[in-house]
Structures are given as C-alpha cells and as structure tokens.
Amino acid sequence: MASIDPRMRYDEKNVYALSNENLTSFRSIYKFDGANVLTVLGSGDQYFASKLFGAKRVEVFDCNPNAWPFFAFKFYAIRILSYEEFCTLLKSHFSIPHLFAKVIKYVPHDILVELKKILKDLNDFSSMLIYSPLSRYYNNFNTDRTIPYLDKKHYYILQGILRESTLPRMHFKNLLDMPESLDGATHDILLTSNAYKWLIMTPKEYDLFLSKFKVKVIQAHYTWHRYHETEDFQNMDYQIDSVMPTDPYNQEENFVFTKIQH
C-alpha cells in the first residue's frame, strides 16, 4: 500500500486491467477530434479512447507508481498483437508467457527496468491487476458497447494510430497537484474518471478546485448510480448525461458529470 495522502480517502498500488466506465459514451458527449486532452491514466483506457476518438495530443497523470509501466506494456501490446492475441492475453490476466515475451521486447529500457521490479515481487501481473466487471462480460470483446477498442474493427484502427505514436507525456502527480504542474498549459478536455469519489471535498470545494485548470471542458465525475450529491452539481450548472450501464445484467443508468468553463 502506498503512503496515504491526507487529502484523499486512500491511495493504492493496484491497477485496473480495464476501465469500469462506459468510455464509448464519451464519443457523443465530448468533441475529441483534434483536441488536446489531459487524462487520468489508471488502466490507460481513457488515453486509448481519446486517441481512437481523434484527439491530437493526450497527456496522462497518475500518482500510482505501477500504473505507468503497466500502461506502457499495454500500449505496446495493442501496437503489435493481433486482436485475438490481445483478448487472449487480457482474459488470462496478462500471464501467457509467449505473448508476454512477444510484447516485452518492444518496451523501452527504462520502463522495462520498472516492470522487472514489479515482476520480481509479483511473478506476473495477475496479483497487481484489478479486473473490472467488464472483463467478465464477453459481449464487450466483440462490440464497442463500453470500451471502444474491444470492438475488433476499432482495435485495428487504434493499433494503426499507436504505431504512428510515441508514449504520451506522463505527469507522476496526484490530481490535486496537477494545476500547479502544468506551467500554464491549456487543454481542451480534462478526464478525471471518478477521482472525486476519493477526494475529501464537498461538491462546491471540488468545483472551486476544478476552476484552477485552464481547460474548456472537464469530465468531472463518473458514477454508476444517482447519489445524494447529484443535485448539488446540477445546481452549479454541471451537465449530467445518463449513459448505458457498464453491467449488461444491471440496467441502472450510469452518469457522466461535465463542467463547462467559460
């Protein structure tokens, strides 16, 4: 367990293998085409979705020391593996030796050093990775219902994009430290996933904090159900979009909270 940041409820070193959010819905909520995006790293799926949706530049941030080396491995896995190979590797918790070996030789040396440190302690990724419910629903592997690149056609489009891309700029920072770390840089879109859930802030405090970012549109929160603070965000003129639930067996809508900065 990483050291606890007193500004957050907790911090952890485990990494999600897949996002547990309906990222496909972001395509209709936000205008990614040609955009400069700043996103939480996590599983890396916000990055991959942004690139697939046409973002011009995507930077990432995370305070989890394991997120970046795992993301780099996933980046090169998508870049070189066939769709069938990638899905097989994903479903096996990234533990199939010959596929792992096929990817690892493409990972840059400095990141490979970090991966080896992780694997020395864990033997493989399986004990580090958190598998979201999406990995159990195999319909997500042949449609773009929630994670866009799990659709075969979109996987190969993303693969082509990544083959023309380098690894993104990484900010090893907590979200709370990001405004002061950007040196006045502006972005079109900020994706925060559900970081709000872990911050010790009221909606009003969070809104004030987000205003520090020089960003036009902020995906401020993602939630899997309505909860008592929803009205507080509505009263501050947040756009709240209902989206298809990530769990095909639970029809409760998910919700995306958006702050538009003027």
Domain contains 33: yes
Residue 127, pLDDT score:
75
Report which of 168, 50, 171, 70 is spatially closest to residue 115, judged by C-alpha positions: 70
Stretch (H or E) spanning 99:
helix 97-104
**Domain count along the chain:** 1
CA 246 from chain centre, in angstroms, equals 15
Residue 133, pLDDT score:
57
Task: Write the CATH number for 161.
Answer: 3.40.50
Residue 1, pLDDT score:
37
Is the Cα torsion angle 93, 37, 5, 208 positive or negative in sign? Answer: negative
Give all strands of the β-sheet with 254-260 in edge-to-edge order: 170-171, 57-61, 36-40, 187-191, 215-223, 254-260, 239-243
Domain contains 185: yes
Task: Quote the DSSP letter at residue 239.
Answer: E
Give percent of the chain with pLDDT exceeding 70.
Answer: 89
Residue 165, pLDDT score:
97
Residue 138, domain extent:
15-260
Domain contains 9: no
Question: Side chain identity at 55, as an amino acid letter?
Answer: A
Report which of 191, 211, 187, 216 is spatially closest to residue 201, judged by C-alpha positions: 211
The pLDDT tens digits of the residues spanning 174-225 come to 999 999 988 877 899 999 999 999 898 999 999 999 999 999 999 999 998 8
Domain contains 2: no
Give percent of the chain with pLDDT exceeding 90.
Answer: 62
Report which of 152, 183, 205, 198 is spatially closest to residue 12, judged by C-alpha positions: 198
First to last CA, the chain: 39
**Alpha-carbon span 179 to 220, nearest angstrom:** 14
The pLDDT tens digits of the residues spanning 128-162 come to 888 765 566 565 666 667 889 999 999 999 999 99
The pLDDT tens digits of the residues spanning 47-68 come to 999 999 999 999 999 999 889 9
The pTM assigned to this predicted structure is 0.92
Question: Tokens for 90?
Answer: 């994903």
Q: What's phi and psi for 41, nearest 5 deg?
A: -85, -65
The pLDDT tens digits of the residues spanning 5-64 come to 656 554 567 888 889 899 999 999 999 999 999 999 999 999 999 999 999 999 999 999
Burial of 10 (0-12, 13-18, 19+ CB in 10 A): exposed
